[in-house]
Amino acid sequence: MSKLYSKKMDTDYLEARIDEVIDRTFADKRLVGAVIKVAVDGELVYNRAAGLADREKNQPMQENNLFRLASVSKPIVSTAALVLLSQGRIHLDDRVDRWLPEFRPRLENGDFAILTIRHLITHTAGLTYRFFQEENGSYHRAGVSDGMDQTDITLEENLRRIASVPLLYTPGTQWKYSIATDVLGAVIEKVSGAPLSEAVQSLVLKPLGMNDTGFTAVDPERLATAYTNDAPEPRPIRDPDHIPFIEGTAGFQLSPGRALDDSAYHSGGAGMVGSAGDLLLMLETLRKGGAPLLPESLVREMTTNQIGNMPMAFWPGRGFGLGFILLKDPIAAGTPESPGTWRMGGTYGHSWFVDPEQQLSVVAFTNTALEGMSGQFTVDLTEAVYDGIKK
């Protein structure tokens, strides 16, 4: 899409299409609040804060409200790792035990696994998440935290517990979404010689001016209340709470108060707090080539499928780059996105995607778990955006 094309785009129609989706979703009581931002060719063409940041206090959602990012933390922390890579301080094929000598998980046969940074950042490390396992699965029995519950353990202790469980498969042979980014965060700490919060701040947040983002809420007054789907309307998430996920899995253990707790360990895969505007800033930085964070060559590698034709449960037609999901086949995925589109979401209710071919970046943060991540809202919003930009 050229600048000429974006200027000719009917922004009124785009706005009306997205508004219709948002208003219908709120009317159906599937969301409580949301902040939606759409940029085309570097220009913010849609920007809306809708609904309520706190329903019980009748507080309207504001554009600068803060959200628990959950897995939206992953692209930020993965980008931090790639900044270290660009500086020559780590390499993708470095063994993890070079940096974390105590982290030496075994295979099912009892042999020590050879685990690399590449395996961690591409989620081919043989790890999983407790919420993906069955009730009382091996991670539950080992006391592993997924990084969203309230625990008093350290990152080092959580890594010890993770390593005590045999890997699901030999690293590099399968793809499974996992707690690997928490392990990557521990590597970043060792390489940088600083706590993960300080490392991510210096490597990514400060250079881009992402002043709303960190491992705790920078302004507790702006932190949106977290909700989850329920009938007849979403209910506030308790602290702690259990949120069912896919049938047959243990589901999510959530503690919204973690976003205000400086003592909670820094979970690279799920522990950050931030605003929609901050994430859009980082996504647009990467879409435009990576400066001042990364060289364009490394952004190209980051946004190239790294896992071949490994099957991805729940994401047909997609592959994985260095930190996020990539679209290979729009027909198989059932989406209007262009091939090569990057996308991820977050448990607390977020989705985002970048379509480089269309020079399009979309951030949709909500305060309603699951619906805003993988519910009908994300499908309807995506269709409305593409309908709007192609009008």
Report the C-alpha gap between 69 and 58 in whole angstroms.
23
Task: Report the C-alpha dihedral over residues 316, 346, 199, 260, rounded to 10 degrees.
Answer: -170
- Answer positive or negative: Cα dihedral of 22, 25, 30, 32: positive
Q: How many CB atoms within 10 Å of residue 168?
A: 18
Catalytic residue chosen out of the listed positions 2, 6, 71, 202: 71
Report the C-alpha gap between 78 and 346 in whole angstroms.
15
Contact (CB, 8 A) for 268 and 363? no
CA distance from start to end of the chain: 13
Q: Which of 194, 182, 137, 135 is nearest to 158 (CA)?
A: 182
Q: What's the one-letter identity of residue 257?
A: G
Is 361 labeled as catalytic in the residue annotation? no
Q: Which of 267, 257, 71, 246 is nearest to 183 (CA)?
A: 267
Q: Are strands 325-327 and 318-320 parallel, antiparallel or unpaired?
A: antiparallel
Contact (CB, 8 A) for 133 and 140? yes
Q: Which residues are catalytic?
A: 71
